[in-house]
Amino acid sequence: MTVPEIIRKKADGRKITMLTAYDCLFARIVDEAGIDIILVGDSLGTVIQGHTTTLPVTMDEMIYHTRIVSRGVKNALLVADMPFMSYQASAADAVYNAGRFLKEGGAAAVKVEGGSAVGDRIKAIIAAGIPVMGHVGILPQSVHQTGGYKVQGKDEPSAEKILNDAVMLEDAGVFAVVMEGIPESLAKRITETLLIPTIGIGAGIHCDGQVLVLHDLLGLTPQPLPKFVKQYAVLRGLFADAVKRFKEDVEGGKYPGNDESYH
């Protein structure tokens, strides 16, 4: 899967699928299932590192996870998330850090949160030959500014701002835009306005594609989950049960049995 193929999918009216992965094992499963885009999201901070926000995630941690994910990816487009403060301070930082994802991580593209506020940094990354995916709506890296992960664009002025940001991102040259936590009607408006694909998470059915955090889809993350998550499996309970049965077997002298022992 390549950037031009992703753009072509929208033109052909074919939906785009995208999931997160943070390691090679999960990435291989997602890749072999035929998902179009694998995102090494900075959501790894909350999903697997135990942080309460994505803000503490560092460039070196993202590079490590992107590199191990890349070993499991044969077909999908591999996109890496630019973590907090890897692009905010200057265009030079943005280009240098985006370049690291391609050189050291094996990614094909990067994702950057924000609209007009980071337009010059996005243009600089694209000018360096690095494809960029935009991200509007809920911006988890701005959680302290917005006061939480609240649905964005509910009133007309903020809807207008998100639409304008998406148009600005397209003009800047991004190849796709993630729209997180916005009303379905606004997502439809943006999807109809842009030529590049929109990929929704909590943005309704009218987007050109959908993205979810893999651990949410698999039912591994603890409740409560956001309204937009659909669990396609409930693995957390299965894992807990397997671990409990192992403990009981060891404590009860039932494991290892004859079959699991060398003779």
Phi and psi for 119 in degrees, rounded to 5? -55, -45
Interface of this chain with ligand KIV, residues 193 to 252, rule: CB under 6 A: 201, 211, 213
Interface of this chain with ligand KIV, residues 87 to 116, rule: CB under 6 A: none
Candidate list 41, 114, 181, 219; residue touching ligand KIV; CB under 6 A:
41
**In the bound complex, what is the minimum distance in angstroms from residue 70's beta carbon to ligand KIV?**
17
3-class DSSP string for 205-227: CCCCEEEECHHHHCCCCCCCCCC
Nearest C-alpha neighbor of 213 from the set 224, 226, 204, 203 = 226
Sign for the pseudo-dihedral over CA of 142, 145, 150, 153: negative
**In the bound complex, what is the minimum distance in angstroms from residue 42's beta carbon to ligand KIV?**
5
Q: Which one of 40-48, 230-238, 240-248, 249-257 is the stretch in contact with ligand KIV (CB under 6 A)?
A: 40-48
Q: Give the x-and-dash track for 156-185 against ligand KIV (CB under 6 A).
A: ----------------------x-------
In DSSP notation, 50-68 reads: --SSSTT--HHHHHHHHHH
**Active-site residue set:** 180
Candidate list 6, 22, 36, 43; residue touching ligand KIV; CB under 6 A:
43
Nearer to ligand KIV, 43 or 260 (CB): 43
In three-state secondary structure terms, 41 is coil
Counting Cα atoms < 13 Å in the Cβ hemisphere of 37 gives 34
Candidate list 21, 27, 57, 81; residue touching ligand KIV; CB under 6 A:
81
Pairing of strands 209-212, 132-137: unpaired
Give residues in contact with ligand KIV (CB under 6 A): 20, 39, 41-43, 81, 178, 201, 211, 213
